Chain A
Amino acid sequence: AQSVAQPEDQVNVAEGNPLTVKCTYSVSGNPYLFWYVQYPNRGLQFLLKYITGDNLVKGSYGFEAEFNKSQTSFHLKKPSALVSDSALYFCAVRDWYGNNRLAFGKGNQVVVIP
């Protein structure tokens, strides 16, 4: 079954510094990868996805993610973090063998320190 791992529980970063949230995946076929963000007491908001093509995917709010097939990773990045980026970030994956199920990672809490 497809799965993703988000190894860190919490990521702390100073405002203005680069932000990276890590995600590795495990699939049987080609991966379709997604990043979502959840602000406190809110639903999940879609940030970006990788389907095929360019390994660097640009998304909402200045976020981007890099697909690395050899390392089976899809890390989320932002060049300069804002305090308002403090939230819970979820990586998710689908593949052909998962019956269209979207498998989510456990989430990473990002805290941007002013």
Chain B
Amino acid sequence: DTAVSQTPKYLVTQMGNDKSIKCEQNLGHDTMYWYKQDSKKFLKIMFSYNNKELIINETVPNRFSPKSPDKAHLNLHINSLELGDSAVYFCASSQPSGRPLQETQYFGPGTRLLVL
């Protein structure tokens, strides 16, 4: 009955590979997000989807491509992985309301990506 789940929890891979991280939420939320947390624990938003539509696309390399097959899922595909992509990636979701700025975001447990 996990609210926001991510798979895999850990991902170790070689430079140049392509990998995907999956996120699912069972909260009935319309909006989902991807965040990157670097080695210094800085958290920065990468993407946001509302009802399968991209609404936030921060300045990230186009090797990163989010895909939302339905509003309960937001996957992150990364092409040609680089050493600098090593980080913890968090998925989050928020409850639909008429006041998006007030919405609380609920986070998944994170995917720890290590690129060798």
Minimum C-beta distance from A44 to chain B (A): 4
With both chains docked as a complex, state the minimum distance between the C-beta of B33 and any C-beta of chain A, in angstroms: 8
Are the CB atoms of B56 and A43 closer together than 8 Å?
no
Q: Is A88 at the interface (CB under 8 A from chain B)? A: yes
**Are B108 and A43 in contact (CB-based, < 8 A)?**
yes
Determine the interface band of chain B, counting residues with CB < 8 A from chain A: 20 to 34
Which residues of chain B (34-60) have a CB below 8 Å from chain A? 40-45, 48, 55-56
Closest B residue to A42 by beta carbon equals: B109
CB under 8 Å from chain B, chain A span 26-53: 32, 34, 36, 38, 41-46, 49, 51
Residues of A within 8 A of B41 (CB): 38, 88, 106-107
Most chain B CB atoms below 10 A, which of A43, A90, A95, A100: A43
State how many angstroms separate the Cβ of B11 from the closest Cβ of chain A: 14
User: In the complex, what distance in Å separates the CA atom of A34 from the CA atom of B102?
Assistant: 9
- Residues B45 and A101 in contact, CB atoms below 8 Å apart: yes
Bound-state Cα–Cα, A113 to B66, Å: 42
Query: Given contacts A44-B90, A100-B56, is CB(A32)–CB(B101) below 8 Å?
Result: yes
Q: Are B100 and A100 in touch, CB under 8 angstroms?
A: yes
Is A46's CB under 8 angstroms from B102's CB?
no
Verify if B17 is at the interface (C-beta below 8 Å from A): no
Which residue in A43, A46, A107 is a CB contact (below 8 Å) of B90?
Answer: A43
Are A34 and B104 in contact, with the CB atoms below 8 A? yes
Hey, which chain A residues are within 8 Å of B4, CB to CB?
43
Q: Is the CB of B48 within 8 A of A100?
A: yes
What would be 6 A-B contacts, judged by CB atoms less than 8 Å apart? A43-B90, A43-B108, A46-B105, A88-B41, A100-B56, A107-B42
